[in-house]
């Protein structure tokens, strides 16, 4: 049995599977990503007594005739190339469990190790060889050295699930099981995130809804006491406002996560800051907070003005909520750069309670609150900073945090600068260099970088 014969025998199934995999799981990877030019091949003594050794057969895979007399690629060579570069894992196993054909992706996903099919996969393959019926299942690969299996998409992240399909291929008396596999880890993570999100939303909505119900009962029981009616009526109104804000922010967050944005345009930073401070003035005065800003910057950024205003409003509201009375919340602007791209950094600084180092990596999570008691008093939803993070991500920007407990915090929103719309601005070359903890949007890992402050 030659390699060409094996490829020819399973050609229809391989081509069908690879095409299905391409449609379901995405385009095939380039050669540079795969790092393989041929398909690994082996045979077993049991399956072919007296034939070529596994080594010689594997070597013959490298010597498959690649061109016909007129210079066209042969069918075997084309299939070899398709399978080798496919994002879909492909492995062909005989009735003796010997893997006679597989690509590197099958090894990456843990389906094949040392030309042997994984135990859990072989159980299904053996059943397919015996009954001829297709098998579909989820496979959890064993962890390789270091605790990670390469996914080909997110380096360093473990493969948590592989979606598999096994089909029978017959040629005369030979029976083979063709295994197709695709990394399903991201879908698994998305589903887990969705479940957590639904659970969190349900919990968060129960609080104001339950409070409104209890307050309504108290209100009805106090119908003959005008002062009590006014008291409970105000509390009902506050809870209703909190509930409405949460629903509004949930809708906004959902749209941001879906990538919904208007067409980007040039946005004047000075006007943006001025509008955000104006909208926060009343709430700041109510708790004795002074709002301040630096001088005009004459800077412009590229983005969605309403989204940027929402993000800045959230940062200022958050600073006010966690500041002590008779302190100042300030907004400043400066020019920075990220990967040699000019950025405008808008920093919101408070002199409040600060954030403990253990909480700094979590403040951008949905529904996370540094001080739950204070959040209940201020009516915070726990979604404001999550919205800021997604606004930054949608603008190819970032949100950075510097904080010290007992001193205060600085949140810095960085957005690509619109050089065409910028008429002036400060020279950042003489700015003092400090250290901030930067949380790049879309990443859960903090990076400490030198930033101009």
Number of CB atoms found within 10 A of residue 413's CB: 26
Predicted local confidence at residue 166, as pLDDT: 93
Residue 170 phi/psi, 5-degree rounding, is -120, 140
150 and 110 Cβ atoms separated by less than 8 Å = no
Flag whether the pTM goes above 0.85: no
| 135 and 238, same domain (yes or no) | no
The predicted pLDDT at position 137 comes to: 92
Please state, in angstroms and rounded to a whole number, the distance separating the CA atoms of residues 415 and 393: 9
Same domain (yes/no): 419, 350: yes
117, 130 Cβ separation under 8 angstroms: no
Which bin fits 110, alpha (ψ -120 to 50), beta or left (φ > 0)? left
Which among 277, 386, 380, 391 is positioned nearest to 322, based on CA atoms?
Answer: 380
**Do 16 and 45 belong to one domain?**
yes
Instruction: Give the ranges where 298-366 is alpha helix by DSSP (H).
Output: 305-321, 357-360
Within this chain, do residues 20 and 157 fall inside the same structural domain, yes or no? yes
Q: For residues 247 and 267, state if they share a domain.
A: no
* Residue at a domain's end among 158, 183, 208: 183
CATH code of the domain covering residue 93: 3.30.450.20
Residue 167: per-residue pLDDT: 93
Co-location of 196 and 154 in the same domain: no
Which stretch of DSSP H or E encloses residue 450?
strand 446-452
Are 117 and 214 part of one and the same domain? no
Whether 312 and 374 map to the same domain: the answer is yes
Q: What are the structure tokens assigned to 20, written together? A: 């299905």
The CATH code of the domain that includes 421 is: 3.30.565.10
Name beta bridge partners: 398. Answer: 414
Helix (H) or strand (E) holding 32: helix 31-34
Q: At what angle do helices 384-394 and 226-257 cross, to 10 degrees?
A: 20
What pLDDT score was predicted for residue 42?
41
Looking at 149, 183, 217, the residue that finishes a domain is 183
**Domain span including residue 24:** 3-183
Model pLDDT for residues 125-172, shown as the tens digit of each residue: 999 999 999 999 989 877 543 333 444 444 445 677 899 999 999 888
Which pLDDT tens digit goes with each residue over 262-288?
Answer: 678 899 999 999 999 998 888 898 889
Give 219-268 pLDDT, tens digit per residue.
Answer: 888 888 888 888 888 888 877 877 776 677 667 666 666 665 667 889 99
Share of the chain above pLDDT 90, in %: 20
User: 30 and 153: one domain?
Assistant: yes
Do 102 and 225 lie in one domain? The reply is: no
- Number of domains observed in the structure of the chain: 3
The two tokens of residue 188 are: 């698994």
The CATH code of the domain that includes 209 is: 1.10.287.130
Report the alpha-carbon angle 314-267-317, nearest 5.
Answer: 10
Q: For residues 290 and 416, state if they share a domain.
A: yes
Among candidates 320, 322, 347, which has minimal Cα distance to 335? 347
CA-based nearest residue to 267, from 306, 313, 300, 308:
300
Q: How far is CA 379 from the centre of its chain?
A: 29
More confident call, 262 vs 309: 309
pLDDT higher than 50, residue 184 = yes
Answer with the one of 168, 183, 198 that is the final residue of a domain: 183
Rounded distance between C-alpha atoms, residue 395 and residue 264, angstroms = 9
Q: Which two tokens stand for residue 338?
A: 């990220």
Give the lowest-confidence range in 122-126, 186-190, 402-406: 186-190
Give yes or no: residues 38 and 24 share one domain: yes
The answer to whether 110 touches 159, Cβ cutoff 8 Å, is yes
Mean pLDDT in residue range 89-114: 88
């Amino acid at each position: 049995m030659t390699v060409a014969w094996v490829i020819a025998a399973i050609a229809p199934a391989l081509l069908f599977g690879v095409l299905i995999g391409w449609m379901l799981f995405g385009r095939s990877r380039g050669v540079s990503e795969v790092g393989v030019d041929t398909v690994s091949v082996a045979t077993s003594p049991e399956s072919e007594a007296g034939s070529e050794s596994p080594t010689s057969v594997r070597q013959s895979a490298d010597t498959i005739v690649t061109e016909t007399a007129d210079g066209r690629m042969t069918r075997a060579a084309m299939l070899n190339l398709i399978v080798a570069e496919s994002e879909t894992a492909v492995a062909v196993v005989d009735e003796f469990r010997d893997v006679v054909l597989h690509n590197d992706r099958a090894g990456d996903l843990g389906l094949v190790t040392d030309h042997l099919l994984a135990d859990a996969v072989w159980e299904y393959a053996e059943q397919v060889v015996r009954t001829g019926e297709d098998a579909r299942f989820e496979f959890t690969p064993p962890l390789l050295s270091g605790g990670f299996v390469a996914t080909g998409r997110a380096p360093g992240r473990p493969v948590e699930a592989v979606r598999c399909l096994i089909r029978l291929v017959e040629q005369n008396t030979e029976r083979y099981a063709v295994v197709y596999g695709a990394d399903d880890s991201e879908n698994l993570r998305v589903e887990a995130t969705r479940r957590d999100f639904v659970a969190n939303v349900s919990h968060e909505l129960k609080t104001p809804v339950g409070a409104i119900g209890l307050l309504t009962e108290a209100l009805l029981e106090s119908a003959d006491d005008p002062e009590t009616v006014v008291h409970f009526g105000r509390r009902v109104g506050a809870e209703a406002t909190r509930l409405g804000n949460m629903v509004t922010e949930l809708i906004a967050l959902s749209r941001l996560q879906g990538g919904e944005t208007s067409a980007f345009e040039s946005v004047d930073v000075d006007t943006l800051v001025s509008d955000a401070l104006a909208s926060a003035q009343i709430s700041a005065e109510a708790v004795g907070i002074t709002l301040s800003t630096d001088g005009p910057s004459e800077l412009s950024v590229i983005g969605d003005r309403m989204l940027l205003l929402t993000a800045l409003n959230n940062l200022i509201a958050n600073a006010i909520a966690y500041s002590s009375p008779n302190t100042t919340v300030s907004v400043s602007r400066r020019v920075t750069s990220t990967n040699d791209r000019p950025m405008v950094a808008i920093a919101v600084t408070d002199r409040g309670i600060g954030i403990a180092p253990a909480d700094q990596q979590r403040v951008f999570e949905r529904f996370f609150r540094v001080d739950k008691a204070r959040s209940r008093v201020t009516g915070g939803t726990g979604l404001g900073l999550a919205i800021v993070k997604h606004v930054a991500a949608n603008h190819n920007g970032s949100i950075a945090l510097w904080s010290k407990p007992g001193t205060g915090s600085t949140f810095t929103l960085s957005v690509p600068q619109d050089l065409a719309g910028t008429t002036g601005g400060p020279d950042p070359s003489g700015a003092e260099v400090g250290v901030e903890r930067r949380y790049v949007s879309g990443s859960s890992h903090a990076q400490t970088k030198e930033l101009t402050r």
